[in-house]
């Protein structure tokens, strides 16, 4: 298995521009960065912010594997044109692709949970329509578009068929299905693997919580996911998404960076 190890920028204390230095301090190869939220004016839409991230990238010799668009937790990805926010959000999605192109980042992925969860046939139709539009735009720039969601394997494969674009990929997470769904993690991984992006999230949880346990110490079958990836000679990124500000982690060490380092150690041992 040929992998690079990363982390989401919001997992670190301070997030944002403190994170690149901490990525290097933790012994990781890179980090995922966030495009930002509608309510905060999408910070990565600003050229100065993009340039500051690029400066930090050079200074600390790290990579940015993707730009994440998690605003879908609060604003429907399948938003209808009648919504007064529709054009603003639509333009922001395209601009996230522009940011990736400008920063030479290979992928943009979208979170289809909560407000963006596909629950009806119409939701599926509008979700597929938005992804097709984004894939066409991103394809011209050589950028992949990813979808992270808690849908069944069947529904995820249906979405792949409806989008029908070679640069549309599914984004796996080693814990989401154990928390949000009744599905077994490795069953989902096996079902979507042929259509999966070469990037994924790893995190772990205690029963009834999410992203609050050291890798391998929770209930998500973290090691089962890693074993599957090894068996299939996975090549790509493993990106930590544990939320180290949670109380369970504070009990491990008062310095969150030390807890991050423990997770990095566990991840390196698992993929060795």
What is the pLDDT at residue 15?
65
What is the pLDDT at residue 17?
63
Residue boundaries of the structural domains of the chain: 2-271
Residue 272 CA to residue 268 CA, distance in Å, equals 6
Query: What are the φ and ψ backbone dihedral angles of 250, each rounded to 5 degrees?
Result: -65, -25
Q: Please tell me whether residue 49 adopts helix, strand or coil conformation.
A: helix
Q: Which CATH class name applies to 2-271?
A: alpha beta
Q: Kindly state the DSSP code that residue 120 receives in the 8-state scheme.
A: S
What is the pLDDT at residue 251?
84
Model confidence, pTM: 0.95
Q: How far is CA 264 from CA 37, 251, 261, in A?
A: 28, 18, 5
Q: Please tell me whether residue 11 adopts helix, strand or coil conformation.
A: helix
- CB 16 within 8 Å of CB 9: yes
Conformation bin of residue 16: beta by default, left when phi > 0, alpha when psi is -120 to 50? left
pLDDT tens sequence for the chain (272 residues): 899 999 999 998 766 668 899 999 999 999 999 998 888 888 999 999 999 999 999 999 999 999 999 998 899 999 999 999 999 999 999 999 999 999 999 999 999 999 999 999 999 999 999 999 999 999 999 999 999 999 999 999 999 999 999 999 999 999 999 999 999 999 999 999 999 999 999 999 999 999 999 999 999 999 999 999 999 999 999 999 999 989 899 888 888 899 999 999 999 999 99
User: What string of DSSP letters covers 60-115?
Assistant: HT-B---EEEGGGGTS-TT--TTSTTHHHHHHHHHHHHHHHHHHT--EEEEE-SGG
Q: How many helices (H) and strands (E) does the chain have?
A: 10, 8
Closest CA to 169 of 109, 98, 104, 111: 109
- CB 5 within 8 Å of CB 29: yes
- CB 260 within 8 Å of CB 268: no
């Amino acid at each position: 298995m040929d992998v690079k190890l990363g982390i989401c920028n919001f997992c670190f204390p301070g997030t944002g521009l403190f994170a690149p230095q901490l990525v290097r301090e933790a012994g990781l190869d890179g980090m995922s960065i966030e495009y930002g939220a509608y309510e905060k004016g999408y910070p990565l839409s600003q050229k100065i912010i993009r340039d500051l991230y690029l400066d930090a990238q050079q200074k600390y010799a790290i990579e940015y594997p993707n730009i994440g668009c998690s605003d879908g937790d609060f604003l429907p990805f399948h938003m209808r044109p009648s919504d007064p926010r529709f054009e603003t959000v639509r333009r922001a999605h395209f601009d996230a692709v522009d940011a990736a192109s400008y920063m030479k980042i290979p992928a943009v992925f979208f979170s289809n949970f909560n407000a963006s969860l596909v629950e009806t046939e119409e939701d599926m139709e509008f979700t597929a329509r938005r992804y097709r539009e984004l894939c066409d735009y991103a394809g011209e720039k050589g950028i992949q578009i990813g979808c992270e969601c808690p849908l069944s394997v069947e529904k995820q494969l249906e979405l792949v068929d409806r989008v029908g674009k070679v640069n549309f990929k599914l984004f796996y997470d080693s814990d989401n299905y154990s928390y949000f769904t009744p599905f077994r993690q490795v069953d989902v991984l096996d079902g979507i693997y042929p259509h999966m992006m070469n990037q994924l999230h790893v995190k772990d949880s205690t029963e009834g919580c999410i992203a609050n346990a050291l890798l391998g110490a929770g209930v998500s079958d973290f090691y089962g996911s890693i074993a599957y990836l090894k068996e299939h000679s996975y090549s790509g990124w493993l990106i930590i998404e544990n939320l180290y500000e949670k109380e369970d982690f504070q009990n491990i060490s008062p310095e969150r960076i030390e807890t991050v380092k423990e997770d990095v150690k566990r991840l390196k041992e698992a993929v060795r």
